[in-house]
Amino acid sequence: MSFAEQSLRKFSEELSSREPIPGGGGASALVAALSISLGAMVGSLTAGKKKYASVEPQIQEWMKEACLIREELLQLIDQDGEAFQPLSEAYRIPKDDPGRGIILETALRNAAVSPVRILQISCRVAELLKAFAENGSVLAVSDAATGAAFCKAAARGAWINILANTRLMKDRSYVLDLEEEMQRILEECEAEADRAYETAMERLSK
């Protein structure tokens, strides 16, 4: 069964077991999915309200995008786990096998794909949460703030899982380029998530 199709109880039990998957990458994808779901919740509680009629078209568009993002993030829970198996097999190849280096390098790159994508998506999630925090019903902006906190956590989780793979890669030029780009995205994501959180807090204090 897909991890995304499991009950919360079952997923959390497997996450806490000795099995390597699901792991930090899959958990980060789930947290990001919860984050954008909270943003969509703000949209759902805003849509159709006369008080927010002027932003109705934008709210509807953001909700549609949030739905697509949530689905991709749920798929990434499984994709992250699927990438681990080839990596696990690569580690078991004898160190004196001449093909081990290439196989391991490829497996490490593939294992980094999902957390890279999770981090990239989290940046957009943060932007949408700020939009919901600014324009959504004041009765629901606390959910946008909670989503922003989750978004930041998901981004940091994805980042550390990227580093767990890049630190073992031999192609340091590739690693430096990837880490530099991901560090930039992480900083953008965290800054935008903070702005979303602060926006919600400001609206709640009025």
Whether the per-residue pLDDT at 142 is higher than 90: the answer is: yes
**How many domains does the chain fold into?**
1
Q: Is residue 136 part of a domain?
A: yes
The size of the chain, in residues, is: 206
Whether the CB-CB separation of 31 and 164 falls below 8 Å is answered with no
Q: Is residue 10 part of a domain?
A: no
Domain that holds residue 185: 23-205
Q: Is residue 76 part of a domain?
A: yes
pTM of the model: 0.94
Q: Is residue 11 part of a domain?
A: no
Q: How confident is the model over 1-15, as pLDDT tens digits?
A: 688 888 999 999 999
Beta-carbon contacts of residue 66 (< 8 Å; ≥ 6 apart): 36, 37, 39, 40, 43, 128
Whether the per-residue pLDDT at 161 is higher than 90: the answer is: yes
Tokens at residue 110, please? 């593939």
Q: Is residue 188 part of a domain?
A: yes
Whether the CB-CB separation of 136 and 144 falls below 8 Å is answered with yes
* 18 class by beta-carbon count within 10 Å (0-12 exposed, 13-18 middle, 19+ buried): exposed
- Taking the C-alpha atoms of residue 191 and residue 204, their distance in angstroms, rounded to an integer, is 20
Q: Is residue 89 part of a domain?
A: yes
Confidence of residue 164 (pLDDT cuts 50, 70, 90): very high
Q: Is residue 48 part of a domain?
A: yes
Q: How confident is the model over 33-87, as pLDDT tens digits?
A: 999 999 999 999 999 999 999 999 999 999 999 999 999 999 999 999 999 889 9
Q: Is residue 12 part of a domain?
A: no
- Taking the C-alpha atoms of residue 45 and residue 38, their distance in angstroms, rounded to an integer, is 11
Tokens at residue 13, please? 């039990």
Confidence of residue 20 (pLDDT cuts 50, 70, 90): confident
Which CATH number characterizes residue 149's domain?
1.20.120.680
Q: How confident is the model over 81-106, as pLDDT tens digits?
A: 999 889 999 999 999 999 999 999 99
Amino acid 1: pLDDT: 65
Stretch 126-155: mean pLDDT: 98
